[in-house]
Structure 1
Amino acid sequence: MRNGGTPDGGPHTLVDGRYELQRPLGRGGMGVVWEAYDNRLGRQVAVKELLFRGAVDPDTQAQWVERARREARAIARIGHEHVVAVHDVIEADGQVWIVMEQVNPRSLADQLQERGRLAALQTARIGLEVLRGLRAVHAAGVLHRDVKPHNILFRRDGRAVLMDFGIATFEGAAQVTRLHELVGTPRYLAPELCTPQGRSPREATPAADLWSLGVTLYETVEGRAPFRGPTPYEVLEAVREDEPPPMEYCGPLRPLIEGLLVKEPLERLTAQRAEQLLQHVAQETPQYPTAFYPEDGRPPGTESPWSVGDSVTSTGADTGPLEPPDDATGSTGPTDPAAGSRPSAGSADSADSAGSSGPPDSSGPSPSADPGTPVPPRGLAARLRGPRAWAAAAVALVVLVTAGWFTVDRLSTSAGPSLDSSATLRAARERGFLLVGVKGDQPGLSERSAQAAGGFRGFDIDIARAVAKHLGFDTVRFEVVNTQSREYRLSTGQVDLIVASYSITQERKESVDFAGPYYVAGQDFLVPARSTGVNGVADLDGHKVCTVQGSTPEARLRTEYPRIVLEPRASYGLCVTDLLAGTVDAVSTDDVILAGYRAQHPSELRLLGAPFASEQYGVGLHRGEPALRAAVCDAIRDEISSGRWKSSYDTYLKPLAPKELADQLPPDQTECG
């Protein structure tokens, strides 16, 4: 794997003839991380290698190789701004090299070693970003299992990044740890995993990662670890049996940290509630209140894919560089002495125990209240305590009514339910805009654009704007969602609707509703322009084909074309990068998505133009809101009948592949009957 140079990473030390190792950035239990230069794409990267051969016995070496391979697979499934990105994985001669984005190698642990502790405000901002990355990890079905300050790094703009998934596990991964081997770092390990010798440990869940985050935040704000001992065994005993020492500098972080450090995982603070508390302490005003759902973050009648605290989070406003406040603690106000008692996770009382520095007020009508009962503005109530809160809420509702919200209700038929029955629409009216989940990297369909209103442009964006206008919203805001997290983002109320090349499938209809379809695409392949021998799916047997983990194209290829070698990634953008780099032979997904990428590289890539299956794109909605679904269906029909559908299609999609997409027509509204 190395061509020339010296073993210490001197000049011209190459990996795979491409990545030039320049200097070591750090060394850990499983290997060395190098600063390197990608000669093919002209960018700085980080390359992680295992310890040198001969440093450990062959069995341990083989185990580390499998762990490194699993780490790369785990990270590649995620794709989130607060999780380190994997660019490439190279295997040869029993060695695994993981090529990652380069971030500042100075970790949170390094900062704590230099400064002792951080202010509560800065700690909350870091914790909020790490939690958002962690929720993305859990939404992808991955457990990190080693959250600690050493594994929290920062990008140049100060954003926290979660990394080092060397012992991560995910559904379908083989267990590579040996019997009685400790998995994780003792002082950050959850108590349910610190089982005495001779007993079987409990199964790890996302709640274990939340415990580790709680320990990390305690250490960050207090300057000392909550559980200590002269030996690893005594540390584990302390984790299992002892309560953490009283905190001195935590300020308004007290209820959050104590809620995360509940010994019983089922009673531990949920990820959703933890994010609300961190937003409050970090002084990040919520950009949008969500539908008023129970503590578990799910609307009534839906099932959670995890038993405890999973999800992916909002990728809302960037909190910016993390500078400490002038005061020593960063406290945003006095801490109520009553906050010293441990909150009961999932209880309304746990929120109020923080006193004036607690989380946003969660008081208000329950989800089982009369559907016509307005939901009080949660963001407003969080800032106004006592009788004035309800008075202000009443005034706000009067303003909304007089502004014309009731006129929108005429969209529902007299025979059907009123739009006021929609919890989603009530929450959107409360905040004053519709929140729509979209993709950010699909040319023609939905992509970021600094010049476009709202920062996005494309065919999907036009559909989303049409729906918003039909529902009475002048303002629509877009939230980037990934393939793996769309159902969860809807079910937890983090977005109101999803318009993101969202294929309608029977499996998805068990957890979300659809309106539409508004477009029908065909599954096809993108290949290098020089590969003239590939003209259809049969020509790709034995070839590496990249697609997105958890997508319908992946499921179809896996079941119907088992001789194709699948290379799943977190996004199609990563797949195209690998195709251009020559590490995969083709990319497969919907033809309209592939056409967008081909248009970006017309001389290097070729769309086969031989679709072998079809996908219907629908607007994703919460389950059990028939009035909202009917209104969205009306919006799609109106967009088609008015001619705006064709105009948008001709503007964004047809130019991508004039020959392959020329005859596309609006589909029948089979989900709107």
Structure 2
Amino acid sequence: MHSEDRAGGADDGAAGRSGGRWADDGLQRAGTGAPQEWPGTPPHGDQPSSHTVIDGRYELLEPIGKGGMGEVWKAYDRRLRRFVAVKGLLDWNAMTAGTRTEVMRRARREAEALAKIEHRNVVTVHDQLETDDQVWIVMKLLEARSLADLLSSERVLAVPRAADIGLQILQGLRAVHGASVVHRDVKPGNVVVRDDGLAILVDFGIATFDGAPRVTRLGNVVGTVPYLAPELFAPASPGPTPASDLWALGVTLYEMVEGHVPFGGNAFWEVQENIRQFPEPSLRYAGPLSPVIRGLLITNPLQRLEAAAAEAMLREVIEGPALPNAARAASAPVPAVSVPAPPLENGKRVRFPDWKRVRPPGWKAATAAVCVALLAGAGWIVSNGSRHDDKSGGRAGSEQARDPGGSGTQQQWKDTHTTLKIGVKGDQPGLSLYDEKTKTYEGYDIDLAYAIAESMGYAEPQFTEVPTDYRSTALKTKQVDLIIASYSITDERKSAPPGEYSVAFAGPYYEASRSFLVRDKSTRYTIEDSSDLKDLGVAVCTARDSTYEKTLPAQGFTMAKSQPNTYQDCLDKLLDEKSDVYAVASDDIILAGYLKANPGKVRLLENIQGAEGYGVAMRPENELLKREVCSALRSILAGETWEEMYVKNLAGLMDDKDPPGRPDLTECENH
């Protein structure tokens, strides 16, 4: 780390999107008034208060969570002018004068390990720091509801949705365990679920190292009792392990589909006794999730389902055999579906949502039967061939279909989809940026989305923000219909290898060049062009799952040890004076937006060889949707709309009022 390479002082950090939020929240801007500084040695047991400033940088604003290990605070990073979450790792109640030195040492090691974990399903740790008697971690502030809140409002989740969230939690845990850290408090309250479906594991306040001695408080094992693995109750327990985190995941999966935890009780002895008496809790609604839940809830940790096997089973549930889509047939009789009675809780029946949301055992077969009956009742004929053989109709909403009444009217996507759901970015000035003040998206991609939606007959599309490495998953899980988010068209994405998801593109609607953004001033390195990046071997950051992640190393560039899931995170690293990242690789139009938002702090190098053709992405089976999108793009590119969108959103960034040449719609040739 090079302290002399400052991307800006404490008063001129990246304003970005943070500035407007102060006004929105009615808060005084950090740095004004006389905030309270963190004392040199806080008295034992004292807690920080509002406007405490840690390390001269992070101003605590308000507590946003409280547990046995202390409070989590919403704080303001004065240097980079952004909101963060700050939490102390030390437990005052579990620390004595004799153990303080050792506990402080372990906390430092834990903070260092957590800071190294970079995974889309694990909360990002920005910084670690230490005061006299506390070790702090500074994390990304996530504005999303917890899984616990989601379950409180919806009670239970459909099996596919629960499996998707469970898979994401598991992938996050595998990254955590790979860093030799055990989370130790996996539960719905410590998982946040964004509107776009991304699940993120949070709250590492009581995390510990694999195999570390068990930590207790007042004679009890640390953690949330209903989610504690049975081996943790034993007096001779070796302490928490990755297997105990997997048990907690099994409890969480069970709760998502069954509506309650498998082993009730408030005290640890009650839960322990329930596990002993009923080691195999009944599963009424888990359906295809039953095997993985049972495998994770095996009481012997040595026989418990391992993470890799659990991941494969969850993927199988999500990617289960395709079923025919039911056509709209209001007059078709729907056969009754037999489901078990809902479970008892405190002597009362819990509310049982309709069968579309709760999947009882055998739900796949039941759903298939209902779909077939619906189609047959409406007079539809379903082909048994593959989708490549069924181009003329038979699947409502995905292929060209004819009106069952025989009128010969060609079906439109809007006929079976009342809302057009579009995935977009929220951190790319000029292309797709979320405005905190107006709570709306704006930019070239957004205007294009509106134009396509209007062409398809929609008055207003529904936007969902998707990071770079989540775009294909958002399509696969049907959270969005389209993605218009600077998605580069590549052969690899159109025909992904096994285990990954292929997408279809319409476009390109814009051709971008490749370039680098570097620090404007650096006393350590002189970087004039891209060849200097190669010669110096400095770290280059790019978004995970971007085209640059694979192509740049082959061209001789040195990449950062791990890549974040957004270009904005790369920019944050570039602007951070403590970071070893000296360049951000992306498209020239994306980097031009960041350049304009951070004048005097960064500069753009000359373009390098290669171009990125942006496409509108969708699921491959949606032939009808692709035809309509291609039709809309042809109209947009042929008229004045395309140039108007460029002049409005991009001309100022590129310092060129004349738009570039219009791209050819190579991905629409047969549509």
Residue 660 (structure 2) aligned to one of 658, 661, 664: 664
In structure 2, the partner of 1:594 is 591
- Given that 2:503 and 2:618 are in contact with CA atoms closer than 8 Å, whether structure 1 keeps it comes out as yes
Residue 566 (structure 2) aligned to one of 571, 580, 583: 571
User: Quick check: 487-496 or 429-438, which moved more?
Assistant: 429-438
Give the deviation of 1:615 after TM superposition: 2.0
In structure 1, the partner of 2:120 is 77
Matched to 2:558, the amino acid is R
Instruction: Give the Cα–Cα distance (whole angstroms) in 2 for the partners of residues 208 and 147 of structure 1.
Output: 6
In structure 1, the partner of 2:360 is 343
Give the deviation of 1:656 after TM superposition: 0.7
- Given that 1:4 and 1:14 are in contact with CA atoms closer than 8 Å, whether structure 2 keeps it comes out as no
Please tell me whether residue 265 in structure 1 is matched to residue 289 in structure 2: no
Give the deviation of 1:501 after TM superposition: 0.6
In structure 2, the partner of 1:230 is 269
- Given that 1:193 and 1:203 are in contact with CA atoms closer than 8 Å, whether structure 2 keeps it comes out as no
- Given that 2:508 and 2:613 are in contact with CA atoms closer than 8 Å, whether structure 1 keeps it comes out as yes
Give the deviation of 1:439 after TM superposition: 1.4
Q: Secondary structure at the match of 2:608?
A: coil
Relative to 1, partners in 2 of residues 1:216 and 1:502: Cα closer, same or farther, differing over 3 Å? closer
Percent of aligned pairs with the same residue?
A: 35
Give the deviation of 1:164 after TM superposition: 1.3
Give the deviation of 1:61 after TM superposition: 7.2
Give the deviation of 1:347 after TM superposition: 3.8
- Given that 1:77 and 1:568 are in contact with CA atoms closer than 8 Å, whether structure 2 keeps it comes out as no
In structure 1, the partner of 2:546 is 551
In structure 1, the partner of 2:40 is 5
Please tell me whether residue 440 in structure 1 is matched to residue 426 in structure 2: yes
Higher helix share: 1
Q: Secondary structure at the match of 2:452?
A: helix
Q: Secondary structure at the match of 1:487?
A: helix
Matched to 2:595, the amino acid is R
Please tell me whether residue 459 in structure 1 is matched to residue 502 in structure 2: no
Q: Secondary structure at the match of 2:416?
A: helix
Matched to 1:617, the amino acid is Y
Give the deviation of 1:24 after TM superposition: 8.6
- Given that 2:512 and 2:612 are in contact with CA atoms closer than 8 Å, whether structure 1 keeps it comes out as yes
Deviations 1:301-333 (A, max 9, x none): 79xxxxxxxxxxxxxxxxxxxxxxxxx99x999
Please tell me whether residue 90 in structure 1 is matched to residue 93 in structure 2: no
- Given that 1:5 and 1:13 are in contact with CA atoms closer than 8 Å, whether structure 2 keeps it comes out as no
Relative to 1, partners in 2 of residues 1:534 and 1:488: Cα closer, same or farther, differing over 3 Å? same
Deviations 1:229-287 (A, max 9, x none): 52886576467x1437xxxxxxxxx966x67994643899xxxxxxxxxxxxxxxxxxx
Relative to 1, partners in 2 of residues 1:619 and 1:219: Cα closer, same or farther, differing over 3 Å? closer
Deviations 1:560-617 (A, max 9, x none): 4453435633323333344444344433322111111222233433222433543221
Deviations 1:11-46 (A, max 9, x none): 998655423568998786878746655333566643
Please tell me whether residue 142 in structure 1 is matched to residue 172 in structure 2: yes
Q: CA RMSD, aligned part only?
A: 6.0
In structure 2, the partner of 1:651 is 648
Instruction: Give the Cα–Cα distance (whole angstroms) in 1 for the partners of residues 165 and 491 of structure 2.
Output: 26
Matches within 5 A, 1:211-610: 211-212=251-252, 214-215=254-255, 225=264, 229-230=268-269, 237=276, 241-243=279-281, 262=290, 264-265=292-293, 296=317, 298=319, 343-344=360-361, 346-347=363-364, 364-365=374-375, 369-370=382-383, 372-373=393-394, 375=396, 406=409, 425=413, 428-448=414-434, 455-509=440-494, 510=496, 511-531=502-522, 533-540=526-533, 541-561=536-556, 563-566=558-561, 568-584=563-579, 585-610=582-607
- Given that 1:528 and 1:580 are in contact with CA atoms closer than 8 Å, whether structure 2 keeps it comes out as yes
In structure 1, the partner of 2:27 is none
Relative to 1, partners in 2 of residues 1:562 and 1:184: Cα closer, same or farther, differing over 3 Å? farther
Relative to 1, partners in 2 of residues 1:663 and 1:22: Cα closer, same or farther, differing over 3 Å? closer
- Given that 1:218 and 1:226 are in contact with CA atoms closer than 8 Å, whether structure 2 keeps it comes out as no
Q: Given the two structures, how large is their TM-score scaled by the length of structure 1?
A: 0.60
Instruction: Give the Cα–Cα distance (whole angstroms) in 2 for the partners of residues 513 and 194 of structure 1.
Output: 51
Deviations 1:338-392 (A, max 9, x none): 99x993164465999xxxxxxx99984499934634659xxxxxxxxxxxxxxxx
Relative to 1, partners in 2 of residues 1:610 and 1:13: Cα closer, same or farther, differing over 3 Å? same
Relative to 1, partners in 2 of residues 1:475 and 1:601: Cα closer, same or farther, differing over 3 Å? same
Higher relative contact order (Cα pairs below 8 Å, separated by 6+ residues): 2
Q: Secondary structure at the match of 1:225?
A: coil
Q: How many residues align?
A: 533
Please tell me whether residue 642 in structure 1 is matched to residue 639 in structure 2: yes
Relative to 1, partners in 2 of residues 1:521 and 1:25: Cα closer, same or farther, differing over 3 Å? closer
Relative to 1, partners in 2 of residues 1:349 and 1:519: Cα closer, same or farther, differing over 3 Å? same
Give the deviation of 1:641 after TM superposition: 2.5
Unaligned runs of 5+ in 1: 110-117, 169-174, 245-253, 269-293, 303-327, 353-359, 377-396, 410-424
Give the deviation of 1:189 after TM superposition: 5.3
Instruction: Give the Cα–Cα distance (whole angstroms) in 2 for the partners of residues 466 and 506 of structure 1.
Output: 27
Instruction: Give the Cα–Cα distance (whole angstroms) in 1 for the partners of residues 448 and 628 of structure 2.
Output: 13
User: Quick check: 431-440 or 142-151, which moved more?
Assistant: 142-151
Relative to 1, partners in 2 of residues 1:132 and 1:569: Cα closer, same or farther, differing over 3 Å? farther
Q: Secondary structure at the match of 1:507?
A: helix
